[in-house]
Amino acid sequence: MHFEWRLSLATVIWSLLAPVGSFALPAWAAEAAGVFSEYAPLSWVIAGFAGLLAYAVAVFIYGTGQQRSVRARYDAKFFQETGALTR
């Protein structure tokens, strides 16, 4: 019970910090590197949203892979138990 609570707390903290970090880190890097310094505040915001978009795409790809993996395991178990696709 105690371990599950810590795991869920870590999941909540990670789910809050990861999107914030994926926005803040690229924005800070754009500011620190001086990339597009003539468009200073706007370029930081655009870099932040680009980092957030990259994070969202990565989470989507990971979720799709997990979904396919679980589905493949259940399909294999179903085929094994029912004898489907045997010749």
Count of CB atoms situated within 10 Å of the CB of 18 = 13
For the stretch 58-69, pLDDT in tens is 989 999 999 999
Contact 23, 49 (CB under 8 A): yes
Q: For residues 31 and 25, what is the distance between their CA atoms, to the nearest angstrom?
A: 10
Does residue 3 lie in a domain region?
no
Q: For residues 66 and 57, what is the distance between their CA atoms, to the nearest angstrom?
A: 14
Does residue 64 lie in a domain region?
yes
Does residue 14 lie in a domain region?
no
Does residue 72 lie in a domain region?
yes
The alpha carbon torsion through 11, 15, 21, 24 (nearest 10 deg) reads -150
With a threshold of 0.85, does the pTM exceed it?
Answer: no
| Count of domains observed in the chain | 1
Q: What pLDDT is attached to residue 62?
A: 92
For the stretch 1-58, pLDDT in tens is 555 655 677 777 878 888 888 888 888 888 888 877 788 888 888 888 999 999 899 9
By residue range, what is the domain housing residue 27?
A: 19-82
Does residue 50 lie in a domain region?
yes
Does residue 58 lie in a domain region?
yes
Q: How many residues are there in the chain?
A: 87
Computed over its alpha carbons, how large is the radius of gyration of the chain? Answer: 21
